Chain A
Amino acid sequence: MDTLLEIKNVTKYYGSGDAVSKALNGVSFSMEHGEFTAVMGASGSGKSTLLNVVATIDRPSSGSILLDGADISGMRERELAAFRRDRLGFIFQEYNLLDTLTVAENIVLPLNLKKVPVGETMRRLDTIAGSLGITEQLEKFPRQLSGGQRQRAACARALISEPALILADEPTGALDSANSKGLMQIFTTMNRRFGASILMVTHDAVVGSYASRILFLKDGSIWNELVRGERDRQTMYHEILNTMAALGGEADVR
């Protein structure tokens, strides 16, 4: 596998003067194509900031971020928008589906922005909706769906443009344990069947245990790393709990 994402010594400051706080402190790591990486840590450890700078929603104060060898930290606003549109897929805690659009319209929105022809758009919609089991829900509006169905629709929207990297910010945060489990199975399918590379931020040890690799952040730096290797998910889960205990943070246990 070759390198997909390279984070090199990324630092992020917020505020100015006496009120400056350091959210990221020289973070460096890399991700291979097809890898499923989770980022865990206590509140305020810099997880969301890290995801935001990779998502190009926020700019790093220093350091560089390379995706497939291209440095995205120095791109202009318009290039960044095109980069997000063409290379990234997003899944958020609050789903971020547009209430006024039907599920189908929400899913194909990234393709519309990329000006993909209608025929190709519809073909991809059928495939992805079938794989995620939401074909029956396509003409409904998000408010007519359950939380789990909404998050599957959000996954479909993230997958449909075949992005290089899917970024997930607390994707199970608004779901109960059953739906969380279902969603993580979908993530696993996305990763294994569609070869999607996923970078996910989570508090939840169970959710983290589905990842192939886990980065632990503390005070804006990578404090530890767990790689699943040949370990099963239950073992991984206990490893996470132990690491979180050592880290001094509190992992959600569901």
Chain B
Amino acid sequence: MFAKLALRNVKRQIRSYLIYFVTVALSVALMFAVNNLSCSDLIRALAEESSDVGSMFTMVTVLSSLVTALVLSYAAGFMLKLRKKEFGMYLTLGMTRQNIQTLFALETLILYGLALAVGIGAGLLIFQLVAALFSAIMEIPFEISAYSARGALMTLAVSGGLFVLSALASLRYLRKVTVSELLKEERAEKGEKHPVVWGILSFITLSGLIFCLVMTCRSLINTFRTQESLHLLMWLVIDLAAIFISHFTLSRTLAGILLCCPGIKNRGTNAVVLRGLSGKMTMNSLLIGALAMLMTFAVVMANVAFTEKIHSDRSLEKDCPYDIIATFRTDEEQGVSMEEGRRIIEKYSAITSEIDYQLYSLGESTLSDNIVGSDEMGWIDRYMPLSQFNRLLEGCGYEPVELGDEYLLVTTVEGICNADFSDVRVTLNGRTCSFGGSSAHYPDLVREWLYFVVPDEVIGDMPVADSCAAYTLENSRPEAGALMDELMYEREIGDGVITLSSNYRVREYIRQASNANVGVLIIGTLYVSTLFVCMALAILSVKTLSTLDEEKKRFDVLYRLGADERTRRSALFREIGVFFLMPFALPFLLTVPMGLLWGEVYKFWNFSGLGSQNAMATSLFIMLTVAAVYALYFAITYRIACDNVINRA
């Protein structure tokens, strides 16, 4: 009997339960996709190679479980609120609490079962989409991925466990709550009592937020100069706190401030909308602050992940400008010799060109001593002849360098360029060279922190410090893993510890490793961001729909007072729209400064051809994705609200 009654109740209230249904189904679908991905052969192989990949997926699974738990508990609370009067009535009519608990448990079980089925169905598709995206990031051919029984079981276990927990909490409430509590009307929402005080607080917190964001931008730029990220992390944490506090205060103030302007308040239905918003936003100010913080975090993380991908692609050209680069220090143990290496490489691909080059050194540190920390690092002055340097640059598409009686400092660390060499001269082979500049933007041709490019005549009979070779292959994408295995050797690094080392850098190998890490970062970040967005929207929807009874009364009065349907729809649209937009406005607005900021970062990284337009495009893409999910939830919520509030008026 209860099963039939529960089924009938679900059918009857399916429109009201739509948000719960969509949210649970979406959470399950995303969880299923990520669990399957984490159990796939590719990711497991990557996780074995890099502990970062494994820990990233563990973090994503834990985060998604927490988020889903929060959504389920909110949604279950909403369903209880929706039905509590009805349950109160059942109790007064003689039903036992056990009957009510059974009925509610069956209803939520039916809904959860349906959402689980739809979620797994959607998850099957989303998994293939995620796998395709991952393949695209990894730059490997996409094949339809096999589903994992372990992934499906993990999804069932986690979502089922969370469902049972939230259901138990609801059942406990139904066991403890009194009949009068079930039957009594909800307390009317109150507006804020001290609008002036909250207005001042809002002004202060908003100013603080702007200050924090500016400081974060400066700190970010500074981080690239000094490689010191502690301050940036501190500012990011402060930013999140500032976003929370400013949204908390603004939620309590915004409608109140507008209500103080008679010209705005006394226009059409503005008073009704603003008073409704004032109550709703004051009651939910903590929630709005938390959601704004999560949204901003999600949008910034998605931006960072995509920027990391661009950085990784562009860095590859800088980190390994040729297909293979071999570097041998004459004073260090040799691994696979250059002759042996050449023979191994040719097993994988024909070598189309080879440039041999050297670094020379007298073992002195006349120039290096001008750099702070040079002593600890044990740097000595290494020189490369200008003709060799230009030949290498030409091979990877850079403009040649011209030097008179000057030396050029070349480094991979931006901070080293700040060292003052303006008065430092060096005399070698009877020729004195003055400082001709420094740069961290040239490709990494040798495995040294820094070296000096000098006119060829300066080198004379200086001893060779590093012997190097740059190879261009016929097949620029050889079987990198196997090739690298052959080019490695075991090296003792002290206390009997043996490590694998190599004198060779294989570009394809670096690319694959980097793509795997960036791929996991992007997928993980997008997944968490999507979950955050869905959770935020689901909570906002649930909050909106749970007050429909009161809304209906208000809009019935408007109807009787002569507000036509369009006016009432417009009022409802504005009220729900502003409530939904409140935690999203800042992440939306941040798109522009974030795009500009990343543009500056690209410039700083000297990524030719990548400017603020590309950065802006990435930011806009992320925001449009967020906006699409936002539009879906808003449309469903607005539609349900209209059906209940306007059409039945």
Chain A residues with a Cβ under 8 A of chain B: 55, 57, 77-78, 81-86, 88, 90, 96-101, 105, 108-113, 115, 118, 121-122, 143, 157
Contact = CB atoms under 8 A, between A and B. Distances in A.
Given A98-B275, A101-B272, A81 B267 contact: no
B563 A121 contact: no
24 contacts: A55-B560, A57-B560, A77-B564, A78-B565, A78-B566, A81-B562, A81-B563, A81-B565, A83-B562, A84-B562, A85-B562, A98-B272, A98-B554, A100-B272, A100-B279, A105-B265, A110-B562, A111-B266, A112-B266, A113-B562, A113-B567, A118-B263, A118-B266, A122-B262
A112 B271 contact: yes
B516 to A, nearest CB: 55
Given A81-B564, A85-B563, A100 B276 contact: yes
A110 B271 contact: no
B188 interface: yes
Contacts of A90: 560-561
B562 A82 contact: yes
A81 B560 CA distance: 8
B355 interface: no
B564 A109 contact: no
Nearest to B268: A112
A101 B271 contact: yes
A4 B631 CA distance: 49
A227 B554 CA distance: 38
Contact of B564 (A78, A88, A101, A122): A78
A98 B263 CA distance: 20
Interface of B: 188-189, 191, 262-263, 265-272, 275-276, 278-279, 550, 554, 556-567
B420 to A, nearest CB: 67
Among A81, A84, A110, A118, the most chain B Cβ lie within 10 Å of the Cβ of A81
Contacts of A55: 560
Contacts of B558: 109, 113
A96 B560 CA distance: 10
Given A77-B565, A84-B560, A105-B265, 19 more contacts: A78-B564, A82-B564, A85-B563, A90-B561, A96-B557, A98-B272, A99-B188, A100-B278, A101-B271, A101-B275, A105-B275, A109-B558, A109-B561, A112-B269, A113-B561, A118-B266, A121-B266, A122-B262, A143-B188
Contacts of A88: 562
Contacts of B565: 77-78, 81
A100 B191 contact: yes
Given A55-B560, A81-B565, A100 B554 contact: yes
Most buried by A among B191, B272, B559, B561: B561
A57 B557 CA distance: 11
Contacts of B279: 100
A212 B404 CA distance: 113
A108 B564 contact: no
Name the prevailing secondary structure of the B interface residues.
helix
A113 B276 contact: no
B188 A109 contact: no
Given A82-B562, A99-B188, A101-B275, A113 B557 contact: no
A77 B266 CA distance: 25
A99 to B, nearest CB: 5
Contacts of A78: 564-566
A81 B563 CA distance: 6
Contacts of B562: 81-86, 88, 110, 113
Nearest to A84: B562
Contacts of A77: 564-565
Contact of B269 (A82, A99, A113, A118): A113
Nearest to A92: B560
Contacts of B268: 112-113, 115
Contact of B563 (A113, A118, A157): A113
A105 B271 contact: yes
The 9 closest A-B pairs by CB, nearest first: A85-B562, A81-B564, A84-B562, A100-B275, A105-B271, A99-B188, A96-B557, A118-B266, A78-B564
Contacts of B189: 100
Nearest to A77: B565
B275 A84 contact: no
Contacts of A99: 188, 550
B219 to A, nearest CB: 44
Nearest to A57: B560
A98 B273 CA distance: 11
A143 to B, nearest CB: 7
| From B262, B559, B560, residue with most partner A Cβ within 10 Å | B560
Contacts of B564: 77-78, 81-82
A115 B191 CA distance: 25
A191 to B, nearest CB: 21
B280 to A, nearest CB: 9
Nearest to A158: B561
Contacts of B554: 98, 100
Contacts of B556: 96
Nearest to B556: A96
A113 B265 CA distance: 11
A90 to B, nearest CB: 5
B266 A108 contact: yes
A110 B576 CA distance: 23
Contacts of A109: 271-272, 558, 561
B414 to A, nearest CB: 57
Contacts of B267: 112, 115
Report which residue of A85, A108, A157 has the largest number of chain B beta carbons within 10 angstroms of its beta carbon: A85
A99 B186 CA distance: 13
* Candidate in A78, A100, A105, A118 with the most chain B CB atoms within 10 angstroms: A100
Contacts of A83: 562
Contacts of B561: 84-85, 90, 109-110, 113, 157
A70 to B, nearest CB: 15
A122 B262 CA distance: 10
A12 to B, nearest CB: 18
B59 to A, nearest CB: 43
B560 A112 contact: no
A128 B564 CA distance: 26
A80 to B, nearest CB: 8
Give the residue among A88, A96, A101, A143 with the most B Cβ atoms within 10 A: A101
Nearest to B563: A113
Contacts of B560: 55, 57, 84, 90, 96
Contacts of B269: 112-113
Nearest to A102: B275
B326 to A, nearest CB: 76
A118 B266 CA distance: 7
Nearest to B263: A118
Contacts of A122: 262
Nearest to B275: A100
A111 B269 CA distance: 10
